Amino acid sequence: MARSKRSRCCLLLLLLPLLGLTFSTPRPKERSFGQQLLDMALESPLYKMLLVPQARRTMVDTAEANGIGWSSSLEYIRGQGPWDDAVLQELEAGSPAKPPSYYKKPFHAYDTGNLNWEAAFEQELASRAVGARNFPAFGKDGEDAFRAAFDNALASLGAAVPDGGVIVDMGCGTGISTRRLAARFPNASRLIGLDLSPYFVAVGRRLMELEPEAGNWVTDVVADKRVELRVADAESTGLPDECATTVNLCLVIHELPPDITRRVCAEALRLLKPGGQLWITEMDFSAPGYVQLRSNPLLFALIRSTEPYLDEYADSTEELFRHLAELEPVESVRLTAATGRHFAVVVTKGRGKESRLDDRRWDEFGNYVVEDTTKNQTALRLYGPGAHRAMVRNLRVEVYGGEQGGAAVEIDALEGEAAVVGCYLAAEGTWGTCVWARGGSPQIVRNFVARARWGVVLIGTGGRVEDNSIRGLGEAGLVLVGGSTWVHRNHIADCGGPAVLAAMDCKAVLQENDIRECLSGVRIIGKQSEIQMRPGNRLLHNGLCDEHQVEAPPGVIPSGSTATVRSCRPYPFLPKDTQELLRRMRTCREHAELAILMRSARRRGLLAQAYRANRRLTKLRKGAHKAPPPRASPAKREVLVVAKAWDGPGTGFGQQSISVELGELCEVLRRDASGWILVSTSRQARGWCSPHAFG
């Protein structure tokens, strides 16, 4: 009878999407009837038969789709045995650790959890797939970007290892995180990786003996004599008091019951010397991406089916932060967002009980400070040998959803004339771009480009941009980085940034374009561009004065610009006082006047205030007769375009520096007194970059 009821529950849950029913996410200790029903279903054999294989297939498919050699790497490591009881007995003889009951539950689609060879063989393969899923723009290198995001976030919180320091890496698995720590901190004297699974430790030790290259394994493995992998329980490691300067917990505690997590943290603090640091990097279920995921219990069930403690972890994380701050040996607890769905925490051990919880995950607007990297999507991508003759014609291409956004059409061709003709293009999000093209001679003709942060971005291209209507962009309408594009008979209007932005050694030709009511008409970055402005261009009412119609560095005068029709009416209502300007933006009820006030605010560097005012502008335009359509939101921070590739890391910031590519779009997070710039890029990278990269 009980089995029959459970089967009916499973059937009901499988039908929920068809019925349009959902359950809201419960608060801790208050589980709704729907959540209890889902819990019951997840315990049923039928549901496990459906979900667990699907979760595994998703992981393998993600790996193979991103060029991660799952099958070949698995075949390689299986052939590096022997993998038998003798190997385990040798490891277990030197460790008194016995797997506790919570560790014996099924994990990650394996019936015996982490206590089997298959789980150990596939751990690093799955880790690469998870990285690719979190940073899709990086493909098979997504894990490197993923872990670099953790590194950068920890560094921003003051994470450091003193010379001769000892690092204990709890829950090290096969040693992925331990090896990365060794490479990142050559000044450390010793690194001890601890894991409860003798299978994982055996495979990790064997990999360091073999030192396979990426052709055989999913990544290069470099042995390091300072690294030691041991079988040990993180609750009771057997290591002496105050033996470490750093304890690392990377993507571990979501696999633990909350009470075990607290014991592990207490053990970490016991191991740390005064002034030592506990680093925790994990999933953040307060982040918008995970809040949305968890609001759909059936989708969340696919993850829960292989992570038995995930629900308890999600409910208890915020309480854990407060608990750590209240512990007597803790001096401070600092946390920030590492990716759009993960946090980083640095807990510093001290002598007093005056600790403070410093939470930096949210900005002044209440937004998560790092945007969701899993949502960067491209609707149409033209690349490879066939891209040189491809055509996108008479389509409506829109990219919706996700804070990051993506490109409506992306063209990556070294040669040829790929074409986008007669299309309606729109793309939401921070990096929402209607057309992004690199190389070749793309033909962008007779398109309507709107509702995006960026319009058309061309990097090192020839070709032409002709007869397009580009309106209501949050930032630049047309970005030209290098190349020699012909820009002819386009109407570009109502952009939050420059209508045309030219950088590097751009040799574009502009003829018969109508450019009006943008932050500036044509803006040139650097002194190497040679822009020709042939007769027929009209630049009207851009910026706040005639000097804003064409903006260029001293001594750089675009050819023919003196013959261009340039005009900007005076705006006597503009306040000179900043506070009065902000007040007028808050109270103005005329959409045309508010647009000019916002333009003035942006030119004064009041980007966040202009961003907020854009919401009011949207409402005013929707309610006015014959008003322009709503404009896409501008950036909250200063935006830059990379005019010179920079390969980092650089002096002064070391591993916190990042590489940037020509034409990459960046948001400025902070400027250092030395001139270096902390940026977030359209490739979801975050770090310090030299100002020379921006011309």
Print the SS3 string covering 558-608.
CECHHHCEEECCCCCCCCCCHHHHHHHHHHCCCHHHHHHHHHHHHHCCCHH
297, 23 Cβ separation under 8 angstroms: yes
pLDDT of residue 119: 93
Q: Give the residues across from 660 on adjacent strands.
A: 646
Share of the chain above pLDDT 90, in %: 54
| Residue 103 clears pLDDT 50, i.e. is over it | yes
By residue count, the chain amounts to 695
Domain boundaries, the chain: 44-96+104-359, 376-567, 578-623, 639-694
> Among the residues of 79-237, which ranges form H helices?
85-93, 117-134, 142-156, 176-184, 198-210
Euclidean distance between CA atoms 147 and 141, whole angstroms: 10
Of residues 138 and 215, which shows the higher confidence score? 215
What is the model's pLDDT at position 569? 82
Which of 42-46, 92-96, 414-418, 489-493 is the least confident region?
42-46
Residue 59's nearest CA partner among 137, 135, 147, 133 is 133
Q: Is 461 exposed, middle or buried (0-12, 13-18, 19+ CB in 10 A)?
A: buried
List the 244-250 sheet strands across, edge first: 227-231, 190-195, 166-170, 244-250, 272-283, 342-349, 330-339, 357-359
11 pLDDT tier (thresholds 50, 70, 90): very low
DSSP 632: P
Give the pairing of strands 272-283 and 342-349: antiparallel
Dump pLDDT digits (tens) for 274-329: 999 999 999 999 998 888 778 766 667 666 767 889 989 999 999 999 999 988 88
Greater model confidence, 268 or 54: 268
Residue 194 burial (10 A CB sphere; 0-12, 13-18, 19+): buried
Q: Under CATH, which architecture does the 44-96+104-359 domain have? A: 3-Layer(aba) Sandwich (3.40)
What fold characterizes domain 376-567? Pectate Lyase C-like (2.160.20)
* pLDDT at 414 (0 to 100): 72
- Among the ranges given (49-63, 134-148, 551-565), the one the predictor scored with the smallest mean pLDDT: 49-63
Helix (H, G, I), strand (E, B) or coil at 426: strand
Contact by Cβ (8 Å): 597, 585: yes
Is the pLDDT score of 34 beyond 80? Answer: no
Q: Looking at residues 491-495, what average pLDDT do you find?
A: 96
Spatial distance between the Cα atoms of 644 and 64, rounded to a whole number of angstroms: 33
| pLDDT-derived band at 22, boundaries 50, 70, 90 | very low
Q: Residue 439 gets which letter from DSSP?
A: S
39 pLDDT above the threshold of 70: no
Q: Is the pLDDT of residue 351 over 80?
A: no
Tokens representing 77?
């490591």
Beta bridge pairs of residue 481: 459, 503
Give me the chain's average pLDDT, please: 85
pLDDT band at 47 (very low <50, low <70, confident <90, very high): low
Residue 49: HSE in the Cβ half-sphere, 13 Å Cα cutoff: 5
DSSP codes joined into one string, 26-66: PPTT---HHHHHHHHHHTSHHHHHHHHHHHHHHHHHHHHHT
Which CATH architecture describes the domain 639-694? Roll (2.30)
Rg (CA), the chain: 28
Sort strands 478-481 and 665-671 into parallel, antiparallel or unpaired.
Answer: unpaired
The dihedral built from the CA positions of residue 57, 63, 65 and 70, taken in this order, carries a sign that is: negative
Two tokens at 694? Answer: 């921006």
Q: Which residues contact 626 (CB under 8 A, 6 or more apart)?
A: none
Give per-residue pLDDT as tens, 616-672.
Answer: 999 999 888 888 888 888 998 899 999 888 876 656 676 678 888 888 899 998 898
Could you tell me the CA-to-CA distances from 570 to 551, 603, 691 in Å, in that order?
18, 16, 35
CA dihedral 121, 125, 127, 129 (to 10 degrees): -150
* Nearest-angstrom CA–CA distance, 362 and 538: 43
The pLDDT, as a whole number, for residue 13 is 36
Name the strands in the sheet holding 665-671, side by side, starting at the edge strand that comes first in the sequence: 639-641, 665-671, 677-681, 686-689
Burial zone of 76 (CB within 10 Å; 0-12 exposed, 13-18 middle, 19+ buried): middle
Q: Evaluate if residue 142 carries a pLDDT over 80.
A: yes
8 CB-contact burial (10 Å; exposed 0-12 / middle 13-18 / buried 19+): exposed
Residue 312 CA: distances (Å) to CA of 36, 79, 253, 315, 333: 13, 39, 11, 5, 22
The Cα–Cα gap between 604 and 586 comes to: 17
Q: What is the pLDDT of residue 372?
A: 72
- Minimum mean pLDDT among 241-250, 269-278, 543-552: which range? 543-552
pLDDT (average), residues 69-80: 92
Q: Hey, what are 208's tokens?
A: 């360091």
pLDDT at residue 26 above 60?
no
CA dist 635 and 598 (Å) reads 12
The whole-number pLDDT of residue 657 equals 82
User: In 3-state terms, what secondary structure has residue 431?
Assistant: coil
Q: In whole angstroms, how far apart are CA 518 and each of 45, 300, 549? A: 61, 44, 9
Determine the pLDDT at residue 298: 62
Of 287, 67, 264, give the one whose Cα is nearest residue 170: 264
